[in-house]
Structures are given as C-alpha cells and as structure tokens.
Amino acid sequence: MSPRIGVLALQGDTREHLAALRAAGADASTVRRAAELDSVDALVIPGGESTTMSHLLRVFELLEPLRTRLADGMPAYGSCAGMILLATEILDAGVPGRDATPLNAIDMTVRRNAFGRQVDSFEDDIDFEGLDGPLHAVFIRAPWVERVGAGVEVLARAAGHPVAVRQGRMLATAFHPEVTGDRRVHQLFVEMVIDRA
C-alpha cells in the first residue's frame, strides 16, 4: 500500500511536490486543515516564503497540531522554506511578529536567505550522500545550515555549508529537487516513510 504523504498547501510550490511524490510511488494530497494533517502518514513542507508560511500556519490553526505530529514522530521533508521551518533555531528570522517560526523537528540552526537575494539564485551539481551520481540542485533565495546537532547527518554541501540533512525520520534540503525532474530525493523520503511504517 502506498504511503499517504501530504504537502502543506498554504503557500509555495505545492503542485510540483505532489507530482514528484506521486512519481515516487506515494499517495499524495494537499494539507490545509488539521483534519487533513491527521489523515496523512508524513508531510512535505515546500519552498516558499518562511515568514508567510509561519503566519498562515497560525491563521489556519495548524502550527500546534503540526508541532505535535512532528514531536510524535511523523516523518517530514522540508525544501528551502521547509528546511527553515523544520529547524530548532532560525537566524535572520524576519520582522518580530511576522517572523519565521521554528517547528523544532531537526536539531539545527538555519540562516534564511544565506546565499543572497533572488538575483543570487543559482544551480549546481552536488554530491548527495546515498544517491548514485551528482544531483542537480536549484537554489532560490536559499538558506544554509550553520549548526547541526549530534544526531543530524549532513547529506550534501554547497559553498562549504550543509544544504541537505537528515535526522531520523526528518529530511531537509536548502534546494528545490521538485523543479528538476530528478525524483531521487522524493524517492528517498518515500522510502523513509515506508521504513517507518
């Protein structure tokens, strides 16, 4: 039976993640409400704007239910803004009152927009631990990881900084694999969800 994986659909590139997950064998659906969150085995938090996503998590009354599911062991994968939100600490988190809110799922410190502004976005081929051959990575106003805890495995680096990490059932990338057509990161996450089941 295919794992049921939700994609947080408050803001960001939801459609691309849904397509990538389905191509990787998951039963993928959007998540906007607590009842939809309750119905999935795992969650993808897409790229987008982390302060806006944090605000919308509160508006849709999803922040605390999501924190609870993550603390209870629900697998999650975050790309770009999703990586930022999965962290325990966020640097340059935004304007007080409208800042990016950590979900405390991966023991790491992440810096928002670390590679620069939109005009500094770039693509690169990077080595990704556990994948055969380089992975083409698209970085858009991307974060990087400045600190990882003892239980966090660094899977890839760019410009000397961690840009892909895993801690138990949690996976995060600073880049956007959903836009390249390479489904290996999504396949890895689907396998993580199946292994947990």
* Catalytic residue ranges: 80, 176, 178
- Which residue in 168, 10, 181 sits closest to 82, CA to CA? 10
Classify burial at 119, counting beta carbons within 10 Å of its beta carbon; exposed 0-12, middle 13-18, buried 19 or more.
exposed
48 labelled binding-site residue: yes
82 labelled binding-site residue: no
112 labelled binding-site residue: yes
Q: How far apart are CA 58 and CA 170, in angstroms?
A: 22
- Which residue in 45, 16, 46 sits closest to 182, CA to CA? 16
Structure tokens at 156: 């890839």
140 labelled binding-site residue: yes
194 labelled binding-site residue: no
89 labelled binding-site residue: no
Q: How many CA atoms lie within 13 A of 150 on its CB side?
A: 0
* Residue positions forming the annotated binding site: 48-50, 112, 140-141
* Residue positions forming the annotated binding site for L-glutamine: 48-50, 112, 140-141
